[in-house]
Every structure is written in structure tokens, then in C-alpha cells.
Amino acid sequence: MKKHLWILLIGAPAFAIFLAALKVYYTIAIWNYQGKPQIFEVKAGESFAKINGRLSREELIPSAKLFYRYCKTQGLMTKFKTGRYEIKTGDTMLDVIETLTVGKSITTSVTIPEGKNLFEIAEILEKKGICSKSDFIKAAKDSSLTKKLNVPAERFEGYLYPDTYGLTEGMPAEEVIKAFVANFDRQVKSIDFSNVPNGLNKHQAIILASIVEKETGARVERPIIAGVYHNRLNRKMRLYSDPTTIYGIWETWNGNLRKKHLQEKTEYNTYRMGGLPKGPIANPGLEAIKATLNPAKHNYTYFVSKNDGTHVFTESYKEHLKAVDYWQKNRANRKGKSWRQLDKSKR
């Protein structure tokens, strides 16, 4: 009798512990989500408690308490990554945890064309639902962030590398910028900036490359236009670049460049100042950067648009005025022209 009693006293608790352990194991590794596939978003700066609570309310996990205890014992409470993730039918709690901590976030393809400035990029990102326009502009002008990411300027203009990215909806603007700058660093890693014409340093080369990028959509012209600007710098001429002037008034500009704008003093108006503007005016691609470092050698100091994406280049101001009369003041030469008519090999 006593023997049976001891067996009962010892066996019953042990069996209860076994059943409890079995239940925990079942909850963690066997139970599986039976609903339709669902997108779950981990928001920027969201606490573990909020993530846990939402998972439980949406019935994507079987137990908020066990989810908490498991993540705490495994050191996972701070490992959840910002992003949008798919929770699939049949996922266990362990599957959910793995998806939200090491899985790949669902991304949106976003293309940033060459020559767009930070304000235009902000609009692209907002339309794609990545981040708000105002948040991106604020982050792109954050001088403390430029220092943190080793960008030698007060804003990120010029270093937001144009490319196609996979970005997450609701992504913090700072993270988007980090992705752009990291890509810029990768793209220019093999480029030698130690011998830029006119003794320009790396940042100055990016400034000039941004101007070259904005001045022409024709790939074959980039080295020629880069040569024009290097010639002007070498001869202590002003750059006289419309795109730099426009950038200086971008946030108040209505799209129509007038004579009064060319006379307005800003840190970017190269009609009123010598040398380079304060910073880049757009984000150049690799070809514009390379053209700036290896410009075509010639004596041109002027160019005028032929209204189709290409230009006429001249050495003297007198020749330039003739070109302006022919290509800009003659309506017949302006009508119906488009850079889209360019041969693809020249773009």
C-alpha cells in the first residue's frame, strides 16, 4: 500500500509535468496556422509586446504567453526586423518566429532614374508607398546623418545612387537612404578619384558629375559636356548652368526659368558665382561620373541645345550666339523635337 502511494505521489506530478511539456511542445512546434495566407507588418520601432499582441489578436500564433516565453529564453525579443512578411497556411509558431526574425521582407520594386534630385526621389518613394515625401526630404537634409554615413556634405544629394531597388512599404526614410548610399559606395568603389582634372576632390567631382548628368540625356555627349565645364573651370569662367540655378530655387520654382531667376543669388546659381555650386544638384549615374573624371579633350566652352537631347558645341561666344539664334530663336528648329527621337545608341 505504501509502495503504491509513493508511486502515485511521484508519478502523478511527473505525468502532469510530462503532459504540460507535451502541450508546450505541441503549441510551439505542432500547432499550425489554418487561416488564409496573411501579410503581417513589423513596424519601425515597434516593441515586442505590440508585435506579440497583434500576432495573438490576428490568431497567427496559438499563445501570446508562450510566444513571449520562448522568444525571451532564446534571446529573440529584439531580433524582429522591420518589414512586411507573409504568414502562410500551415505555419507553426516556430515558422512565424523564423519568418519575422530572419525571413525576407516583401519588397516593392522602385526605380530611381539617373539625374533625379532628392525632391523628385521623395515623390517617387511616396507614390510607391515606401515612405512619405516630407520624411524623406527631412532625412536627406540631415547633416548628422550624412556624417554618420561618411558623406562629405550637409545633405545626401549626389549620393542617392540611381538604380532599381527592392524596398519595403512603410520603410523608415533613414533606412532607404542607407540603402541608396551603400549602393553608391559599391558602385564607385573601384573608381580612382585621385587625379581628377582641375584638381577636384571626390566630392567636387560628384558635384560636377551631377551637372553633366542634368545637361544631357545623350550618353555620347557626356564626356564632351564634361570637357566644356572643365575648360570653363580651367579658364576661371563661370559655369553658367541653368540646372544649377533651378536647383537653388527648386522648392519655390514653378517650372518656368526666367531672367530674374538667373540674377537671383543662391549658393547654386552659377550665373552669379564662380566655381562649383555648394553641392550636387542631382544624383548622377556611373557614366556621368566617369565622364567627369575622363572628359573629352577639346577647346569648346559653349553649347546650345538642338532641342532633341543633343547639342551644338562652339569655342567662342560669337559662335555660340549664332548657334542660339539658329537653334533657339528659330521656331522651326524647336518644333516637334524630342530627346526620345535620339538613336538608342546615343542615349
Q: Does the pLDDT of residue 197 top 90, yes or no?
A: yes
Equal CATH topology for 31-106 and 108-188: yes
For residue 230, the SS3 value is helix
CATH number corresponding to 108-188: 3.30.1490
How far CA 208 is from CA of 60, 150, 188, 194, 263, in Å, comes to 53, 19, 15, 15, 21
pLDDT digits over 78-134, tens only?
999 888 899 999 999 889 999 999 998 888 999 999 999 999 999 999 999 999 999
Quote the pLDDT of residue 153.
Answer: 96
Q: What is the pTM of this model?
A: 0.79
Q: What are the sequence ranges of the domains in the chain?
A: 31-106, 108-188, 197-346
Task: Find the helix or strand (DSSP H, E) in which 68 lies.
Answer: helix 64-73
| 82-96, 244-258, 267-281: least confident range | 244-258
Give the pLDDT confidence of 304-328 residue by residue, as tens digits: 988 888 899 999 999 999 998 898 8
How far the first Cα of the chain sits from its last, in Å, is 97
Contacts of 55 (CB under 8 A, 6+ apart): 40, 61, 64, 67, 96
CATH fit for domain 31-106, picks 3.40.50.720, 3.40.50.300, 3.10.310.30, 3.30.1490.480: 3.30.1490.480
C-beta separation of 139 from 177 below 8 A: yes
Does residue 159 surpass a pLDDT of 80?
Answer: yes
* Model pLDDT, residue 213: 96
